[in-house]
């Protein structure tokens, strides 16, 4: 082919027609649509960057007039992205091995590229550019599509989508603009200001993955309503973050004001209409309550009161830690309880944050998570600290200045026993009096810690020490039916009174009871959803009361 128009037409329309034929033959489902969109967009971004590098390195060049951006024909670039991100991704639906699909795509590329003249002019080292394109475009795009089709590697998918959105909506528009023409001090100042929308958007993506179990892509959305992180302050943190990004870039190039207008128009129009209807159907009254309390664009000062409850565990006997606990309490956190690390079911060596939906963080990250329960300003500082790399750097600094992990786990120095998970028809947890703990067997959940105190009267009239046992569910959204049984001094096991059985919801500490110190206590978890088994934690500690009663009177 020697006609440039024919070369560009074939390069664009052949991949598009093949993709359309495959879609007509087998219409895509929701996951397949998500995989297709991600595959094409990933390859469009990565191939654009590879071609820019290829033009500079001399791997190949283009002899094209019209329809070009930065020397690249847009039609050929789009056709290449559809071939690798559309045709190749749709081939994965037929359960073909990923290496086979990638190999066929590379073989077609190696056969077709030499035929691209006179538009495409290959250099002596063009295979180097081809290898780079395969490594950063084809293979990652296929992996992202495969994970999306199979609903695997949620965090990797969410991070990849965040990188993709940043590249398509920020990096690519900046490259041909006048932003990079400004002096270094101006670029540095704007880059620092961009930390605010970057932290806002990154925290929102993290909450989508960890709390909602989904991604920002509408075809791969969260399965749970997300009200944590930035969503506790504003309903559209990602759209707000992108709008702020464009407004800051407009300080260097006014053309980005158009991007801000488009982002706001999209958020107020199509996104608001579509997402509101969809979320109302999926989450009903829960969405209505959240929608009435949190504004879409203007953040609130205090977080949404309906966020999942959380706890931050801070050691009482630590001179550096106690002021942190006091500082958090003085700010009246929303849905956050400050608890002594010594009472945690398992020994802790760092300050630890735990949320009812399963999120856990330690050290500086725990403090950053806790700030989300205080106020918008502190929450923003916490989100910045949680940016990739910054949290690790902050933790290294904290460790270097004496705020590192304790040498010994924070434990109650008094009575220690063990809590074990044992096979049963449900998930059974047994807490039993121990002599100083010992090795933790397989299935160990944590330590049951307590002190002798109070007193109860057994059937023979002899007073024995008493324990108070508490159970709570941690890390699951599923309510569990919990029952307690006790065997007094090795005697017959008997269930406690029926009123002591009930529902335990995430984050609550309920169903307290007292039994004799040498009793065997069993907590039976009958979770409604066995795919997400409840994580039962049992704490045993002294009961302050010392009343004397018969065993039949114990509650």
Say whether pLDDT at 517 is over 60: no
Residue 186 φ then ψ, to 5°: -70, -40
Instruction: State which H helix or E strand residue 541 sits in.
Output: strand 535-541
Say whether pLDDT at 121 is over 60: yes
Buried b (16+ CB within 10 A) or exposed e, 32-44: bbbbbbbbbbbbb
Residues 6+ apart with CB under 8 A from 69: 176
Residue range 8-29: average pLDDT? Answer: 92
Say whether pLDDT at 179 is over 80: yes
Residue range 345-353: average pLDDT? Answer: 85
Q: What is the Cα–Cα distance from 496 to 487, expressed in whole angstroms? A: 10
Helices (H) and strands (E) in the chain, counts: 19, 22
Peptide bond into 193 cis (omega under 30): no
Q: Look at residues 297, 522, 345 and name the one whose alpha carbon lies nearest to residue 430.
A: 522
Most confident of 264-278, 406-420, 422-436: 264-278
**Residue 271 — pLDDT band, cuts 50, 70, 90?**
low
Q: What is the pLDDT of residues 493-512, one digit of tens each?
A: 333 333 233 333 443 333 44
Most confident of 237-241, 421-425, 488-492: 237-241
Q: What is the pLDDT of residues 180-215, one digit of tens each?
A: 999 999 999 999 999 999 999 999 999 999 888 889
pLDDT at 74: 92
Residue range 243-250: average pLDDT? Answer: 96
* Greater model confidence, 345 or 294: 294
Q: Tokens 């590098």 — which residue?
A: 53
Say whether pLDDT at 552 is over 70: no
pLDDT at 371: 96
Say whether pLDDT at 246 is over 90: yes
pLDDT at 270: 66
pLDDT at 408: 63
pLDDT at 96: 87
- Cβ burial of 253 (10 Å; 0-12, 13-18, 19+) is middle
Residue range 86-104: average pLDDT? Answer: 91
CB 308 within 8 A of CB 476: no
What is the full DSSP assignment across 247-304? Answer: HHHTTT-TTHHHHHHHHHHHIIIIIHHHHHHHHHHHHTHHHHHHHHHS-SSS--SS--
Mean pLDDT of the chain: 76
**Residue 464 — pLDDT band, cuts 50, 70, 90?**
very low
Residues 6+ apart with CB under 8 A from 107: none
**Residue 64 — pLDDT band, cuts 50, 70, 90?**
confident
Say whether pLDDT at 41 is over 50: yes
Residue 335 DSSP symbol:
S
* Cα 547 off chain centre by: 48
Q: What is the Cα–Cα distance from 172 to 155, expressed in whole angstroms? A: 24
472 is written with which tokens? 């709570």
pLDDT at 116: 85
Q: What is the pLDDT of residues 372-404, one digit of tens each?
A: 999 999 999 999 999 888 888 999 998 888 777
pLDDT at 220: 87
Q: If you count them, how many residues does the chain have?
A: 555
Residue 439 DSSP symbol:
P
Say whether pLDDT at 241 is over 90: yes
Quickly count: other Cβ atoms within 10 Å of residue 11's Cβ: 24
Q: Beta 68-69 vs 72-73: how paired, if at all?
A: antiparallel
């Amino acid at each position: 082919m020697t006609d440039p128009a024919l070369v560009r037409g074939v390069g664009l329309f052949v991949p598009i027609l093949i993709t359309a034929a495959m879609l007509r033959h087998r219409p895509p489902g929701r996951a397949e649509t998500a995989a297709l969109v991600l595959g094409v967009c990933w390859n469009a971004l990565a191939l654009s960057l590879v071609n820019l590098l290829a033009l500079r390195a001399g791997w190949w060049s283009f002899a094209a007039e019209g329809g070009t951006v930065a020397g690249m024909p847009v039609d050929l670039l789009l056709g290449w992205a559809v071939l690798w991100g559309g045709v190749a991704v749709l081939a994965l639906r037929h359960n073909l091995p990923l290496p086979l699909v990638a190999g066929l795509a590379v073989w077609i590329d190696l056969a077709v590229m030499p035929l691209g003249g006179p538009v495409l002019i290959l250099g002596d080292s063009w295979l180097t550019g081809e290898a780079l394109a395969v490594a950063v475009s084809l293979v990652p795009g296929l992996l992202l599509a495969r994970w999306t089709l199979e609903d695997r590697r949620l965090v990797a998918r969410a991070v990849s989508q965040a990188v993709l959105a940043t590249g398509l909506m920020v990096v690519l528009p900046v490259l041909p603009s006048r932003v990079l023409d400004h002096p270094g001090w101006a670029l540095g100042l704007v880059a620092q200001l961009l930390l605010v929308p970057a932290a806002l958007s990154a925290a929102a993506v993290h909450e989508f993955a960890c709390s909602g179990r989904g991604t920002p892509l509408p075809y791969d959305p969260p399965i749970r309503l997300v009200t944590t992180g930035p969503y506790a302050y504003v309903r559209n943190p990602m759209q707000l973050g992108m709008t702020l990004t464009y407004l800051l870039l407009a300080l260097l190039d006014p053309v980005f004001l158009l991007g801000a207008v488009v982002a706001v128009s999209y958020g107020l129009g199509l996104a608001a209409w579509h997402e509101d209807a969809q979320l109302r159907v999926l989450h009903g009254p829960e969405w209505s309550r959240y929608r009435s309390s949190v504004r879409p664009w203007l953040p609130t000062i205090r977080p949404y009161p309906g966020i999942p409850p959380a706890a931050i565990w801070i050691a009482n006997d630590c001179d550096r830690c106690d002021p942190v606990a006091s500082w958090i309490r003085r700010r009246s956190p929303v849905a956050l309880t400050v608890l002594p690390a010594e009472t945690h079911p398992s020994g802790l060596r760092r300050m630890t944050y735990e949320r009812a939906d399963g999120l856990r963080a330690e050290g500086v990250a725990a403090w950053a998570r806790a700030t989300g329960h205080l106020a918008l300003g502190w929450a923003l500082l916490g989100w910045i600290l949680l940016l990739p790399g910054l949290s690790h750097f902050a933790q290294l600094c904290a460790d270097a200045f004496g705020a590192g992990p304790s040498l010994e786990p924070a434990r109650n120095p008094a009575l220690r026993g063990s809590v074990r998970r044992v096979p049963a028809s449900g998930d059974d947890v047994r807490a039993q009096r121990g002599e100083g703990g010992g090795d933790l067997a397989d299935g160990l959940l944590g330590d049951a810690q307590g002190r002798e105190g109070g007193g109860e009267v057994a059937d023979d009239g002899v007073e024995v020490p008493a324990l108070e046992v508490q159970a709570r569910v941690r890390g699951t959204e599923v309510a569990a039916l919990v029952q307690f049984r006790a065997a007094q001094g090795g005697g017959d096991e008997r269930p406690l009174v029926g009123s002591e059985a009930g529902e335990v919801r995430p984050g609550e500490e309920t169903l307290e009871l007292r039994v004799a110190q040498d009793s065997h206590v069993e907590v039976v978890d009958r979770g409604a959803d066995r795919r997400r088994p409840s994580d039962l934690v049992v704490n045993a500690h002294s009961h302050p009361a010392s009343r004397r009663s018969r065993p039949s009177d114990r509650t």
